[in-house]
Amino acid sequence: MRTSLAFGLRLLTNVSPQTHLTGFSHAIRARFRRSPRNCGLRLIGVFLAMLPAVGFSQFTPQMTGQINTQSSTTSSAPETTAPSASSSGTTNSSSAALPAGITAPPGYQLTANDGIAVEVFGEGDLKTVARLNSEGNASLPLLGSVHLAGLTLTQATARVTELYARDYLVSPKVNVTLLGYARRRFTILGQVNHPGSFEMPETSPGGIDLMEAIAMAGGYTRIAAPERTSVRRHSASGDQIMRVNAKRVERGQSANFRIQDGDSITVGESIF
């Protein structure tokens, strides 16, 4: 009886992997050896008391595994981050690079509607791109409206340097570059294939040749009289009309004629 009960209790207690149940079985065996009387009743009472502990010991690992599984699934979910502030399309003018300039002819003087770039080395906030208005003035940071028309790029650089050094900066290093010429247009009418108004190439700030202007208009018609070409030019004293023999110019028998901004060309018609 003692051996079978002890053996059965040993089997029961070995089912649970928990340390406190194993220690509990040692206490039961000790009491069983000390008090063989009524051991059956005591063993039944101890067995009934152990049932909740055994059930909890089997339930806990299952619940722990489920909780761990849910935790790992949640932690593996992708994180959503807010968009970076740098995604904005706004550009800081102090860090933006200035457009590349063009090479002006030697001695070229700035005129109304010319585009320029002004850079003060070491002063990023003073970088600016400006276009001279109809009065020949450019708006520059701190300085406001500055008259630059009629100045070469070297003279314009000296002028801006002087103004910044007068009230704002100590020994400023300024660079003024030309970004684009003002739009220069001419009009050609009469016996050409495509009469109208044309814009001069930026590569020719001083104007274009008469023959180039006629070529831009598609050349002469079959009834054109190139020797009867006239050019109307606006000036401060009034309009001036100049007679030009385009046939002699084309043959190289006369000096080349230069078309300037605002000129109006008329090619005459031959008389039979």
pLDDT digits (tens, 9 = 90+) for 216-229: 999 999 999 999 99
Residue 254: its pLDDT value, please?
85
Whether pLDDT at 14 is above 60: no
Q: How confident is the model at residue 75 (pLDDT cuts 50, 70, 90)?
A: very low
Query: Per-residue pLDDT averaged across 72-93, rounded?
Result: 39
Q: What is the mean pLDDT of the chain?
A: 75
Collapse the DSSP code of 27 into the 3-class scheme (helix H, G, I; strand E, B; otherwise coil) and give the result: helix
CB 132 within 8 A of CB 110: yes
Go through the chain and tell me how many residues it has. 272
Q: Contacts by 21-29 with C-beta closer than 8 Å and gap 24+?
A: 21/50, 21/53, 21/54, 21/57, 24/50, 24/53
- Provide the whole-model pTM: 0.48
Collapse the DSSP code of 35 into the 3-class scheme (helix H, G, I; strand E, B; otherwise coil) and give the result: coil
Residue 106: its pLDDT value, please?
85
Whether pLDDT at 194 is above 90: yes
Residue 59: its pLDDT value, please?
45
Q: Quick one: DSSP state of residue 25? A: H
Q: Quick one: how far is CA 202 from the chain centroid? A: 28
Q: How confident is the model at residue 20 (pLDDT cuts 50, 70, 90)?
A: very low
CB 146 within 8 A of CB 166: no
